[in-house]
């Protein structure tokens, strides 16, 4: 049985107080806290194995390389990729999306082409495509959302055409917690010959994600949103696509051979095999080790259990929020269409004021646009406060959150 109270014992930061109140951490969509198993794995790496990878024959380098490659293997198994050749370590979801935009898009998108996004995208899945469109001249089209923040699938299907070369869509909205049917999107996009990039920043840490079952072409996610350190993330790509793509970064490690041609006065370069072809320079080795430890921790709890726990918390919080007379909350109502993210506002208060008031009682939430201004504009929201749950949150914390909100309503 999943026991969040037992889980909490693994997280040292949750034992502290903020403003003389027990910490209630409800900002998990932004980043998650780290269990001692991850902290100790990173500490052990620096104490016992620290060396550069793929560059030396000495023992420490061999051990560091083994750990780093094992981290790729652990990620591959976690999302059911074929092998580590499909797993590229990057800094996070943002870099992964930029990676696809520039490594694939720069060479494959022309003036006649279209890129399809949605109005619920995080800025990191909007800005790179808009920048690239100014370089290559292709058109960026946006799929509408419904009034409850869910995706308008009819709008999406109407927007697809043979001009569509890639659909880049979030799996779970970081604002509303809306879960998109990406399998349906992928199937439909493939019928038009389009590739699909899924932003899994808010899905991979919270629910089972199987890249083979989805038949997704690219999947991006961040380690820090799933108990791992900051600065480490993953881009999954189908092997046949990665083999055809040019590297995003150039430097050491990603080359097989560099030789000087005296006839032309230039260097001749051949690339390494994936994934190393795309991991230029000294990588975030300790981050990879931490990510591996985080995945092992998540697997020990079971992703289905984690997802079920978060859905129960979200359902309970939505019920309790109805007791508040000045609180409006947004997003889909059905349990099967949302996960543990709830945006809300308190009448008469700016979202930042709400966040500051809650912080004075030790409750941490996000406020503002959550890097998703177009969705706020579409839902006619000036901004929003946001609570987001994870595996260590409890009903008692939600009860305390509601108590403080009710105090705020009395001001």
What is the CATH classification number for the domain harbouring 217?
3.40.640.10
In this structure, the answer to whether residues 379 and 399 fall within a common structural domain is yes
Last residue of a domain, one of 233, 267, 299: 299
In this structure, the answer to whether residues 49 and 91 fall within a common structural domain is yes
Residue 130: which region, alpha, beta or left (left: phi > 0; alpha: psi -120 to 50)? alpha
pLDDT of residue 1: 77
Last residue of a domain, one of 299, 321, 349: 299
pLDDT of residue 186: 98
Q: Report d(CA 47, CA 20) in Å as an integer.
A: 35
Residue 106: which region, alpha, beta or left (left: phi > 0; alpha: psi -120 to 50)? alpha
In this structure, the answer to whether residues 109 and 45 fall within a common structural domain is yes
In this structure, the answer to whether residues 403 and 347 fall within a common structural domain is yes
Contact status, residue 271 vs residue 247, Cβ threshold 8 Å: yes
In this structure, the answer to whether residues 186 and 246 fall within a common structural domain is yes
pLDDT of residue 252: 86
The count of domains in the chain is 2
In this structure, the answer to whether residues 273 and 317 fall within a common structural domain is no
Residue range of the domain that includes 162: 39-299
How far apart, in Å, are the Cα atoms of 203 and each of 94, 192, 244, 306? Answer: 15, 25, 28, 11
Q: Report d(CA 100, CA 104) in Å as an integer.
A: 5
In this structure, the answer to whether residues 236 and 312 fall within a common structural domain is no
Whichever domain contains 24, its CATH number is 3.90.1150.10
In this structure, the answer to whether residues 281 and 356 fall within a common structural domain is no
Residue 371: which region, alpha, beta or left (left: phi > 0; alpha: psi -120 to 50)? left
pLDDT in tens, the chain (411 residues): 799 999 999 999 999 999 999 999 999 999 999 999 999 999 999 999 999 999 899 999 999 999 999 999 999 999 999 999 999 999 999 999 999 999 999 999 999 999 999 999 999 999 999 999 999 999 999 999 999 999 999 999 999 999 999 999 999 999 999 999 999 999 999 999 999 999 999 999 999 999 999 999 999 999 999 999 999 999 999 999 999 999 989 998 888 998 998 999 999 988 999 999 999 999 999 999 999 999 999 999 999 999 999 999 999 999 999 999 999 999 998 767 899 999 999 999 999 999 999 999 999 999 999 999 999 999 999 999 999 999 999 999 999 999 999 999 999
In this structure, the answer to whether residues 405 and 373 fall within a common structural domain is yes
Examine the residue annotation and report whether 371 is marked as an active-site residue of this protein: yes
In this structure, the answer to whether residues 16 and 121 fall within a common structural domain is no
Q: Report d(CA 258, CA 140) in Å as an integer.
A: 38
In this structure, the answer to whether residues 12 and 98 fall within a common structural domain is no
Q: Which two tokens stand for residue 124?
A: 């990191």
Q: Report d(CA 201, CA 180) in Å as an integer.
A: 13
Residue 196: which region, alpha, beta or left (left: phi > 0; alpha: psi -120 to 50)? beta
């Amino acid at each position: 049985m999943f026991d969040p109270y037992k889980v909490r014992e693994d997280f040292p930061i949750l034992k502290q107080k903020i403003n003389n109140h027990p910490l209630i951490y409800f900002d998990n969509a932004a980043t998650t806290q780290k269990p001692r198993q991850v902290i100790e794995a990173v500490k052990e790496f620096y104490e016992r194995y620290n060396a550069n990878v793929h560059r030396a024959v000495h023992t420490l380098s061999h051990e560091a390389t083994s750990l780093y490659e094992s981290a790729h293997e652990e990620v591959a198994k976690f999302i059911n990729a074929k092998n580590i050749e499909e797993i590229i370590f990057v800094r996070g979801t943002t870099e992964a999306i930029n990676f696809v935009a520039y490594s694939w898009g720069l060479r494959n998108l022309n003036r006649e082409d279209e890129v399809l996004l949605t109005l619920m995208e995080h800025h990191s899945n909007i800005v790179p495509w808009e920048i690239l469109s100014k370089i290559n001249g292709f058109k960026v089209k946006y799929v509408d959302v419904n009034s409850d923040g869910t995706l308008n699938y009819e709008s999406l299907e109407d927007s697809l055409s043979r001009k569509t070369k890639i659909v880049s869509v979030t799996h779970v909205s970081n604002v509303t917690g809306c879960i998109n049917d990406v399998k349906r999107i992928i199937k439909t996009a493939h019928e038009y010959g389009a590739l699909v990039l899924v932003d899994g920043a808010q899905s991979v840490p919270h629910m089972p994600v199987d890249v083979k079952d989805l038949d997704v072409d690219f999947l991006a996610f961040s380690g820090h949103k799933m108990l791992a350190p900051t600065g480490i993330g993953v881009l999954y790509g189908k092997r046949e696509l990665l083999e055809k793509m040019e590297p995003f970064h150039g430097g050491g490690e990603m080359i097989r051979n560099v030789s000087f041609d005296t006839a032309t006065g230039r260097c001749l370069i051949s690339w390494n095999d994936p994934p190393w072809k795309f991991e230029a320079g000294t990588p975030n080795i300790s981050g990879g080790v931490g990510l591996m430890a985080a995945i092992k921790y998540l697997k020990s709890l079971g992703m289905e259990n984690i997802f079920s726990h978060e859905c129960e918390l979200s359902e309970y919080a939505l019920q309790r929020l109805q007791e508040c007379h000045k609180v409006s909350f947004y997003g889909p109502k059905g349990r099967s269409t949302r996960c543990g993210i709830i945006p809300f506002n308190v009448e008469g208060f700016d979202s930042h004021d709400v966040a500051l008031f809650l912080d004075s009682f030790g409750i941490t939430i996000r406020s503002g646009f959550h890097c998703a201004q177009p969705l706020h504009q579409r839902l006619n929201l000036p901004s929003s406060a946001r609570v987001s749950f994870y595996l260590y949150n409890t009903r008692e914390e939600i009860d305390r959150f509601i108590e403080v909100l009710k105090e705020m309503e009395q001001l």
